[in-house]
Amino acid sequence: MAPTLWQSDLLNSDPSIAIALVLKGIEKENQDYASFMAPVAMSPSLLARALSHARTSWGNESGAVSEEQVRAVRKTWSEVRTPLRRAELEAYLKDPDALLRAVLERQSAAGK
Ligand code: HEM
């Protein structure tokens, strides 16, 4: 199973966090969930609609995501080739730029 998206901070905070998370996936570090979150290759318009739906459904009220926002994150995050870690996402939930820097540092330390 996958986690509930209702009241998910990762989904409902800064839209860049949710967009980056879906584009890059989440690294599987434990057995909390049976499945894993792979990077999802959706067009910017479809991803904007999917995220807008998720952020305004099941009691979520964090608002729509635009295609332009998805395109912007896709571009800024284009160097990232590693899935994100939950600890990173949670540490930088309110600061997407710091999240991006942390992920790029980890990636470069791993020599990738
Ligand atoms: C547009 C499509 C998708 C969106 C918007 C989305 C969104 C999310 C979000 C926001 C989280 C973090 C939730 C939280 O813990 O607060 C998450 C985690 C997860 N998602 Fe997705 N997801 C998508 C597609 C998928 C697909 C296709 C699968 C599986 C086939 C999947 C499986 C999972 C799993 C297993 C996790 C937990 C990962 C872990 O912590 O190890 N997701 N997803």
Record the tokens describing residue 22, joined without a space: 């879906």
Name the percent of the chain lying above pLDDT 90: 94
- The ligand 1 atom at the shortest distance from the C-alpha of residue 10 is 16
Domain boundaries, the chain: 9-109
Instruction: Give residue 94's pLDDT band: very low, low, confident or very high (50, 70, 90).
Output: very high
Confidence band of 60 (pLDDT split at 50, 70, 90): very high
Once rounded to an integer, what is the mean pLDDT over residues 71-89? 97
> Which residue spans within the chain are E strands per DSSP?
none
Q: What is the pLDDT of residues 4-47, one digit of tens each?
A: 999 999 999 999 999 999 999 999 999 999 999 999 989 999 99
The CATH number that domain 9-109 falls under is: 1.10.760
Pocket of ligand 1 (CB under 6 A): 2-3, 5, 8, 10-11, 18, 21-22, 26, 28, 33, 35-37, 40, 50-51, 54, 86
pLDDT of residue 61: 96
Would you say residue 1 has pLDDT above 90? no
- Tell me how far apart the alpha carbons of residues 20 and 34 are, in angstroms, rounded to a whole number: 22
Which residue among 8, 37, 40 is best mutated to probe the pocket of ligand 1, counting the most ligand atoms within 8 A of its Cβ?
37
Residue nearest to atom 19 of ligand 1 (CA): 37
Distance CA 71, CA 84 (A): 19
Q: Does residue 112 surpass a pLDDT of 80?
A: no
Contact present, 11 and 18 (Cβ < 8 Å)? yes
Asked if residue 18 lies in contact with residue 10, where contact means CB atoms within 8 angstroms, the answer is: yes
Coil, helix or strand at residue 86:
helix
**pLDDT at position 111 over 90:** no
- Kindly tell me the burial class for residue 7, based on how many C-beta atoms sit within 10 Å of its own C-beta (0-12, 13-18, 19 or more): exposed
